Amino acid sequence: MPVKAPPPPVVLPFNWNGFYVGGHFGGGALSDTVTFVGTLNSTNFPAGTVAKETAGGLLGGVQAGYNWQLPSNWVLGVEGDYSFSDFTTAPTLNAIVSSIDPNIISHPDPRVTDLATITGRFGYAFDKLLLFGKAGWGWARTSDNAFTTDATGATILTQTLSATRSGWTAGGGVEFGFWQHWSAKFEGDYMGFGKRTLGNFVTSGDVQIPTGSILLRDHDTNIWVIKGGFNYHFNWGAAPLVANY
């Protein structure tokens, strides 16, 4: 007697439910508006002096999160990530020329070495394609060392600054499930830290600005990042990707 062929397997939609971990790589940029404040300032850079500082570079790190996929295909989740970054710039590009004496120039060196976020995610799944947005808390570790030169090019003052900044972040992106438990993603995020007064420690000064002095500066800091990466989804408590009937 003829034998009936078994029915073909039924492929279920990609399953976004559950815990996931992954890694990412990308780049970013820092924009910092620095205003000289406080009572201790040199005559060449009086209180109210404003400087625009920038830096940029690469980043890489890890992320982990949890997704809840609703029957309506909306996906809600929470995610945390940590990035090691190397945002730098040539000090000459951020040079601050004194408005009092143009021969006196300050050379700041802004850097970003670490970034982290904890965010809520929301998106809509078109089977294997997930469009998402995210918003929450952002954190960064920054530094802004500087040295000042005179008309001869000799260094007349050096100062250091290291700080951690806490603020908010928002962004969005796209994620694609390309094979069983694996997905690839691409996203762009903005991190805003607002204005905060920070103190630069003078490591080498002069009579006017003695060594050991603290120079106060208002830093209005913003960071933009773009990153791509991969996630592995454990799909805990969810149906398998492929079923036979």
| Predicted local distance difference test score (pLDDT) of residue 3 | 58
Number of alpha carbons in the 13 Å side-chain half-sphere of residue 198: 24
Does any domain span residue 106?
A: yes
Identity at 52, one-letter amino acid code: K
From residue 233, how far is each of 20, 28, 132, 177, 190 by CA, in Å?
4, 27, 16, 10, 26
- What residues have CB less than 8 Å from 207, skipping those under 6 apart? none
Does any domain span residue 218?
A: yes
**pLDDT values of the chain reduced to their tens digit, one per residue, 245 residues:** 555 656 666 566 788 999 999 999 999 999 999 999 999 999 999 999 999 999 999 999 999 999 999 999 999 999 999 999 999 998 788 999 999 999 999 999 999 999 999 999 999 999 999 999 999 999 999 999 999 999 999 999 999 999 999 999 999 999 999 988 999 999 999 999 999 999 999 999 998 999 999 999 999 999 999 999 999 999 865 544 343 33
| Predicted local distance difference test score (pLDDT) of residue 7 | 64
Identity at 164, one-letter amino acid code: T
Does any domain span residue 4?
A: no
| Predicted local distance difference test score (pLDDT) of residue 1 | 55
Does any domain span residue 188?
A: yes
The pair of structure tokens assigned to 94 is: 């951020």
Does any domain span residue 242?
A: no
Does any domain span residue 244?
A: no
| Predicted local distance difference test score (pLDDT) of residue 12 | 67
**Number of domains the chain is built from:** 1
Domain of residue 65: give its range: 13-236
pTM (2 d.p.):
0.90
Does any domain span residue 7?
A: no
Does any domain span residue 163?
A: yes
Q: What is the largest CA-CA distance in the chain?
A: 106
Q: Write the CATH number for 41.
A: 2.40.160.20
DSSP single-letter state for residue 176: E
| Predicted local distance difference test score (pLDDT) of residue 13 | 76
